[in-house]
Amino acid sequence: MKVSEIMTRDVCVARPDHTIEDVARMMLAIDAGLLPVGDDDRLVGTITDRDIAVRAIAEGKGPKTPVSEVMSQEVKYCFEDEDSAHVAQNMGELQVRRLPVLNRDKRLVGILSLADLAQAERGQRIGNALRQIAQPGGEHTQGANERSGGM
């Protein structure tokens, strides 16, 4: 099955000059944790709720901070004509839950999420991707909590 058959086509896109407050409100309105950042129809980055928390709020940046200051510029993506099973495997290896989808002219045409894959594949391959994505990415020990003043 091709990515184009299961991706979400109606994509909300942030601009580099949006503020993180604008983007947070957009995420709330569509119940999403990632937005592609586009300049016209060219993908120039992505911004996640984690980017807002870690790269903005935790660093003392205010709500009027432009998205361009905290977005990820190294964007992982897939193409609409790729096989969804192959993309699911790549998502697992990359430990990502969503990927922007581009056409071969590198124009944004959609978003592919684990939910899209799960619905299309009825969970067959999604389990492997989830296991890989769910691997801890950082220090999750009692020592880390002690250093950060946590529980």
Nearest to 24 by CA among 69, 78, 59, 64: 64
- pTM, rounded to two decimals: 0.76
Task: Please give the residue that has the higher pLDDT: either 132 or 1.
Answer: 1
In a domain, 151, yes or no: no
In a domain, 36, yes or no: yes
Number of domains forming the structure of the chain: 1
- CA 101 vs CA 42, 71, 80, 87, 140: distances in Å: 11, 18, 6, 11, 32
Q: What is the pLDDT of residue 114?
A: 86
Q: What is the pLDDT of residue 121?
A: 66
Q: Which amino acid is at 15?
A: R
In terms of residue numbers, what domain contains 26? Answer: 3-135
CATH classification of the domain holding 108? 3.10.580.10
Question: Look-up: residue for tokens 């979400």?
Answer: 8
In a domain, 106, yes or no: yes
CB 135 within 8 A of CB 95: yes
In a domain, 142, yes or no: no
Q: What is the pLDDT of residue 118?
A: 81
In a domain, 107, yes or no: yes
Question: Residue 137 gets which letter from DSSP?
Answer: -
Indicate the pairing of strand 98-102 with strand 78-79.
parallel
Q: What is the pLDDT of residue 120?
A: 77
In a domain, 30, yes or no: yes
Q: What is the pLDDT of residues 53-98, one digit of tens each?
A: 999 999 999 999 999 999 999 999 999 999 999 999 999 899 888 9
Taking the C-alpha atoms of residue 61 and residue 141, their distance in angstroms, rounded to an integer, is 28
Q: What is the pLDDT of residues 5-52, one digit of tens each?
A: 999 998 999 999 999 999 999 999 999 999 999 988 789 999 999 999
In a domain, 140, yes or no: no
In a domain, 81, yes or no: yes
